[in-house]
Structure 1
Amino acid sequence: MRPCLGVGHLLLRWLRVCSRRARNRLPKCVRERWAYAQLLWRSLFYNSLTNCDVVSDSLLEPIFWMVDILTRWFGMVFVFLVVALTSSILIISYFCLLPLVLNTYPPFWIVWHICYGHWNLIMIIFHYYKATKTSPGYPPKMKPDIPFVSVCKKCIIPKPARTHHCGICNTCILKMDHHCPWLNNCVGHFNHRYFFSFCLFMTLGCMYCSISGRTLFINAYHAIESSYNTPPPPYTFKDKMFHKSIIYMWVLTSTVAVALGGLTLWHAMLISRGETSIERHINKKEAKRLAKHGKVYRNPFNYGRLNNWKIFFGVEKTSHWLTRVLLPSSHAPYGDGLTWDIYPHQKDIMPV
């Protein structure tokens, strides 16, 4: 049975029929000019790929443009915040925690805290500096002698596989993952490892401060709280600043550990699958499209979990897990970012 049509729908259909009949009664030359005018009008905005997503993206383009402009101009502010907040934690650690550790901890724990803390600090500083200063990689401006998958509509240059345009940097990026405002730089082929390592070691450092300073935080919190409920004890200004500094350090490091830890786990999952943040969305849509036709999508750049990590870190032999992963290293990533092996064999492509 046909569903009942609403009055508005019937009225709209009647108006369409009347307008069609009225056009048919016009002279042929008028109808041809009217059809030509309609064609010109539709050519300004219509194509066969137009859908709701294209229209919504067009309407939101001014907002995206403003976000790109603000992110570009405030990049140095975000970098300054990272440096300032990290420096504040270091000042508290050296002037408040280190004297306490040296006076109360046994020699074994003193050595462990000093060695681990400074190793973690060196890894954070090294990878953050390299992530901000290393170019993510750009495709050649002239037509390269390599296969390319498309042409960038904004740069008007050929785009190799895994290359995407960054609206903030206003250029194409090799194996682009995303634009990070905290680095004031794009994360691409040549600095992706530095970015992930910075996130990893910063998370470990924040977890270290949060766990090791938990008891001090509880004591400082109770001391501050008791000063408001009871007559203030004979605390000096130095004691008050010590307690407030401990509370500030614990809250900041705990918050960053949770937030940045979640981001690090997300990127670790992407690396295990051999894809970037952008490719994650593309592959998800492609998998849904092929699933409707009864097919299974396979990521052409997934070499297996272990191989993906070896390629990402540039591990070519067993000793590289120490010298290139657990110690600062400026080695170049695997490949040039322009050409990629697709659908590789299941064997270990980088044996160790």
Structure 2
Amino acid sequence: MHPCSTAMHLLLRCLRGCGRHSRSRLPRRLRQPVSYMKLILQSLYFNSLTNSEVVFDCVIEPVFWMVEVVTRWFGMVFVFLVVALTSSVVFIAYFCLLPLILQTYTPGWIMWHICYGNWNLVMIVFHYYKATKTPPGYPPKMKNDVPFVSFCKKCVIPKPARSHHCGICKTCILKMDHHCPWLNNCVGHFNHRYFFSFCLVLTLGCMYCSISGRNLFIDAYNSIDMVSQPPYTYKDRMFHKSVIYMWVLTSTVAVALGALTLWHAILITRGETSIERHINNKEAKRLAKRGRVYRNPFNYGKLNNWKVFLGVEKRSHWLTRVFLPSGHAPYGDGLTWDIYPLKKDIIPV
């Protein structure tokens, strides 16, 4: 007898057995659903391709689906939170702390706070806007003579090197790093630099507010006990609460976002993305068992990795493209990757 016929025969027997056993115990309306569920469970044992990984994927799939749905529908909420929290800190800095700085600080310190604070704010706004509005890059729907290394079974299109499928965006992304809910956008080839620069300048801004506002925070925290004294007005109470709110928020974000920024800086130094980090680790372990050493083909050296990532091709670009807002495009088109890009132009600089 054919294997498929045997499996079908066994499944029918299970279905009949489930029906006979359930007739005397279950209500009529529940017999068919229960029999169907038992059939599904028992059918797993008649599939020669079934293993523990397949069963685990089936069980965990609803969790992935929920994460994708929540991230997709609440993306704008996360963006609103970033804008609202950042705006609240800026409001406190300009309308509460700046008048105090102008009255108490020396002209040198006043100039430092005004220049650095406004530069930091411009960099944060620029890079966050570019990171959210710049498409990460998508591979062409057809091959079009573009080299590809695999085929996406979900998009049904060829996948160039370093591209991966995003379950939230429902498409493949060029040099995908991850999907960031705080941007409501994927981080890929064309906006990876904006994302990292935003994380870096926001961390620096939070550290700046936390360090420079430490003494004000201590004074405001100690002044809470003076709420019952007559000189302590409503305006003073709101000022102290605003200082405490700003210091706690910026200090917390500085620690959390600082750790994330450091991790991404390590990945950039190694010429990897977050996804490639896991892939390269697995490949290194696989080759190590064979006595071979895995080398990342996209690692051009620590300094060159940063130059390629930041788009630095000459010395002046460190100022115009790194320390000042710049909308220049990244190196390459994200479809093909040279082994040593811009080697003659970058290394001598």
Equivalent position amino acid for 1:292 in 2: K
SS, match of residue 113 in structure 2: helix
State the Cα deviation string for residues 14-47 of structure 1 (Å, max 9, x = none): xxxxxxxxxxxxxxx5889537978xx7899654
Choose the corresponding residue for 1:308, options 301, 305, 316.
Answer: 305
| Superposition pairs of residues 149-298 of structure 1, within 5 angstroms | 149-227=149-227, 231-298=228-295
TM-score of the aligned structures, taking structure 2 as reference length: 0.86
State the Cα deviation string for residues 87-108 of structure 1 (Å, max 9, x = none): 0001100111100100000101
Counterpart in 2 of 1:350? 346
Identity %: 75
Give, in angstroms, the shift of residue 169 of structure 1: 0.4
Equivalent position amino acid for 2:285 in 1: K
Give, in angstroms, the shift of residue 225 of structure 1: 3.5
SS, match of residue 72 in structure 2: helix
Measured on the aligned residues, the alpha-carbon RMSD in Å equals 2.3
Q: 1:86 to 1:53 in 2, by over 3 A?
A: same
- Distance between the aligned counterparts of 1:44 and 1:157, measured in 2? 33
Q: 1:346 to 1:189 in 2, by over 3 A?
A: closer
Q: 1:151 to 1:45 in 2, by over 3 A?
A: farther
TM-score of the aligned structures, taking structure 1 as reference length: 0.85
Equivalent position amino acid for 2:124 in 1: I
Q: 1:44 to 1:213 in 2, by over 3 A?
A: farther
State the Cα deviation string for residues 286-341 of structure 1 (Å, max 9, x = none): 11111111111111100000000000000000000000000000000001000012
Counterpart in 2 of 1:61? 61
Equivalent position amino acid for 1:207 in 2: M
Q: 1:107 to 1:156 in 2, by over 3 A?
A: same
Give, in angstroms, the shift of residue 143 of structure 1: 1.7
Q: 1:253 to 1:30 in 2, by over 3 A?
A: closer
SS, match of residue 128 in structure 1: helix
Question: Contact between 2:226 and 2:232, CA under 8 Å: does it hold in 1?
Answer: no
- Distance between the aligned counterparts of 2:2 and 2:298, measured in 1? 57
- Distance between the aligned counterparts of 2:55 and 2:225, measured in 1? 56
Q: 1:46 to 1:180 in 2, by over 3 A?
A: farther
Counterpart in 2 of 1:96? 96
Give, in angstroms, the shift of residue 66 of structure 1: 1.2
Question: Can you give the 5+ residue segments of structure 2 that lack an aligned partner in the other structure?
Answer: 11-42
SS, match of residue 151 in structure 1: strand
- Distance between the aligned counterparts of 1:131 and 1:184, measured in 2? 9
Counterpart in 2 of 1:34? 6
- Distance between the aligned counterparts of 1:45 and 1:311, measured in 2? 49
**How many residues end up aligned between the 2 structures?**
317
Question: Can you give the 5+ residue segments of structure 1 that lack an aligned partner in the other structure?
Answer: 1-28
Give, in angstroms, the shift of residue 62 of structure 1: 1.3
Question: Contact between 2:7 and 2:46, CA under 8 Å: does it hold in 1?
Answer: no
Q: 1:200 to 1:30 in 2, by over 3 A?
A: closer
- Distance between the aligned counterparts of 1:127 and 1:272, measured in 2? 21
| Superposition pairs of residues 115-134 of structure 1, within 5 angstroms | 115-134=115-134
State the Cα deviation string for residues 115-161 of structure 1 (Å, max 9, x = none): 00000000000000000000000000112312101110110000000
Question: Contact between 1:142 and 1:157, CA under 8 Å: does it hold in 2?
Answer: yes
Give, in angstroms, the shift of residue 232 of structure 1: 2.9
Q: 1:106 to 1:177 in 2, by over 3 A?
A: same
- Distance between the aligned counterparts of 2:191 and 2:4, measured in 1? 59
- Distance between the aligned counterparts of 1:204 and 1:37, measured in 2? 68
Equivalent position amino acid for 2:255 in 1: V
Equivalent position amino acid for 2:159 in 1: K
